[in-house]
Amino acid sequence: MEIIEILNQSGFGSLAGELMTEISLGREIVSREPDSDDDRVTIPEAEQLEEAIRILRLRLMEPARALASAEQIAGNFTDGGVFEFSSLTHQEIL
């Protein structure tokens, strides 16, 4: 798949590998029977690009949107002031 090559060449090899794994595992089909195991079906080649884009959105865009939403909510608690979340390393916490 061309998107895998693009990700690899752009320095996102781990994301490309994760994407390949997800696509090769197929879609999970949840059984309606309570005692039955869930099953997986192969993603048809014509649908793999669409599925890859959906996975990338979930991994990259949705967390960013959730963070922006959290910052907006937190800003409401500071009377409209600016509020930013920041990442701390383990050493900065100690």
pLDDT tens per residue, range 22-48: 999 888 887 777 777 778 889 999 999
The number of beta carbons lying within 10 Å of the beta carbon of residue 43 is 17
pLDDT at position 10 is 92
């061309």: which residue's tokens?
Answer: 2
pLDDT at 61 over 70: yes
Look at 94 and 24; give whichever has higher pLDDT.
Answer: 24
pLDDT at position 40 is 84
The domain tally of the chain equals: 1
pLDDT at position 17 is 92
Q: Residue 14 corresponds to which tokens in the numbers above?
A: 């781990």
Q: Is residue 77 helix, strand or coil?
A: coil
DSSP letter assigned to residue 42: P
Domain that holds residue 36: 2-93
Q: What is the mean pLDDT of residues 63-91?
A: 75
